[in-house]
């Protein structure tokens, strides 16, 4: 289902193509219409620095596309999972206002020859950015189709020269209790920071991606500003947001949802319609489409990204869930 364009037709869609009826209505007036996004979303991206906006605006190459309709930005930016800002779907957009993602640094450490700290500005300005339209399938059985702008994960990891002892990559989200109300919740069942991990070969797969933007704009806070992982063949919780730490390790690292409910959420978490969640089926999903349409559609193995199958050829995916 994933469609790749040939060189001659791979330029990104102008931002205006993502405009949809609901956003125009939301925008309520010519001013909001010219900014292409609703006022609420604009508020959450307004402080993105010029170097970031410039880089995103000058991204002209789209390397992965799909025939599926792109989800309204209205839905992708208001129906979120980001427990640092609360557990309700609209908590992230409502509670993100105090979080300032700029400036930002990522520390890369562990089993590599060149550990170090990289500023987001250095990473973004020195990297080749591209747009990729990916399906995102949440373990809760809803899905969206999102145009991300970003950088292939492998190109960041390579800079730090992981050595042969590195078997996994561990990722960590920022902890900022003053700005993230979910981290102040005494009853939270999540131990902060939110952590995730990939096997080295998964992390170096060309589809593994770091997003810095969506719909041709800097990432809104509720979607993981200023930089988040996107691993389209795995359930959405693997796509960790607001990353500050990356570590090359030799053991499978702990992951937040596996720590919270090990029987329900495994380390691999590949999208798999053949393995039900203990409490619900994964055979179908609710797809948020264009113009607010929600359809029930069949779920595909690896979310349709069959090119990753080789990574798991010797594994029983029902055991390694």
* Strands 294-298 and 284-288, sheet pairing: antiparallel
Q: Report d(CA 13, CA 62) in Å as an integer.
A: 9
Binding-site member from 20, 26, 81, 269 for ligand MTE (CB under 6 A): 81
Give yes or no for residue 220 binding ligand MTE (CB under 6 A): no
- Ranked by CB distance to ligand MTE, the top (closest) residue is 236
Q: β-strand 228-230 against 284-288: which pairing, if any?
A: unpaired
* Interface positions, 234-273, toward ligand MTE (CB under 6 A): 236-237, 239-242
Least distance CB 173 / ligand MTE (angstroms): 4
Selected from 2, 149, 152, 173, the binder of ligand MTE by CB under 6 A is: 173
Question: How many Cα neighbours within 13 Å face the side chain of 46?
Answer: 11
Nearer to ligand MTE, 112 or 133 (CB): 133
Q: Does the footprint of ligand MTE cover residue 223 (CB under 6 A)?
A: yes
Q: Is 217 in the site for ligand MTE (CB under 6 A)?
A: no
Shorter beta-carbon distance to ligand MTE: residue 81 or 112? 81
Using CB under 6 A, pick the residue from 74, 83, 248, 305 that binds ligand MTE.
Answer: 83
Strands 284-288 and 142-152, sheet pairing: parallel
Cα–Cα dist 106/19, whole Å: 33
What is the rounded radius of gyration, in angstroms, for the C-alpha atoms of the chain?
A: 19
* Binding of residue 162 to ligand MTE (CB under 6 A): no
* Per-residue burial over 262-290, b = 16 or more CB atoms within 10 Å of its CB, e = otherwise: eeebbbbbbbbbebeeeeeebeebebbbb
The verdict on 290 binding ligand MTE (CB under 6 A) reads: no
Sign of the alpha-carbon torsion through 208, 197, 41, 125: negative
Residue 242 CB, shortest distance to ligand MTE, in Å, is: 6
Positions in the binding site for ligand MTE (CB under 6 A): 80-84, 136, 138, 173, 194, 223, 236-237, 239-242
């Amino acid at each position: 289902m994933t469609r790749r364009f040939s060189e001659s037709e791979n330029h990104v869609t102008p931002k205006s193509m993502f405009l949809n009826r609901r956003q125009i209505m939301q925008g309520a007036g010519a001013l909001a219409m010219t900014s292409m996004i609703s006022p609420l979303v604009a508020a959450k991206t307004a402080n993105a620095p010029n170097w970031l906006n410039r880089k995103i605006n000058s991204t002209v190459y789209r390397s992965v596309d799909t025939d599926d309709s792109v989800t309204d930005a209205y839905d992708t930016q208001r129906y979120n999972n980001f427990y640092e800002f609360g557990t309700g779907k609209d908590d992230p957009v409502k509670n993100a206002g105090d979080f300032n993602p700029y400036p930002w640094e990522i520390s890369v450490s562990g089993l590599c020859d060149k550990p170090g700290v990289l500023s987001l500005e250095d990473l973004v300005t020195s990297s080749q950015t591209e747009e990729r339209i990916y399906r995102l399938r949440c373990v809760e059985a809803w899905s969206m189709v999102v145009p991300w702008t970003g950088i292939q994960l492998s190109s960041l990891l390579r800079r730090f020269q992981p050595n042969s002892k590195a078997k996994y990559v561990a990722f960590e989200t920022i902890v900022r209790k003053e700005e993230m109300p979910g981290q102040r919740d005494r009853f939270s069942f999540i131990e902060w920071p939110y952590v995730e991990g990939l096997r080295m070969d998964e992390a170096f797969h060309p589809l593994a991606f770091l997003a810095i933007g969506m719909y041709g704009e800097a990432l809104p806070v509720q979607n993981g500003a200023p930089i988040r992982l996107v691993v389209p063949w795995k359930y959405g919780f693997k796509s960790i947001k607001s990353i500050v730490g990356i570590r090359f390790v030799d053991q499978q690292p702990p992951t937040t949802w596996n720590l919270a409910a090990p029987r329900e959420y495994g380390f691999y978490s590949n999208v798999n319609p053949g393995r039900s969640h203990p409490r619900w089926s994964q055979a179908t999903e609710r797809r948020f489409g264009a113009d607010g349409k929600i359809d029930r559609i069949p779920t595909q193995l690896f979310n349709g990204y069959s090119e990753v199958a080789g990574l798991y050829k010797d594994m029983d995916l029902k055991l390694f869930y």
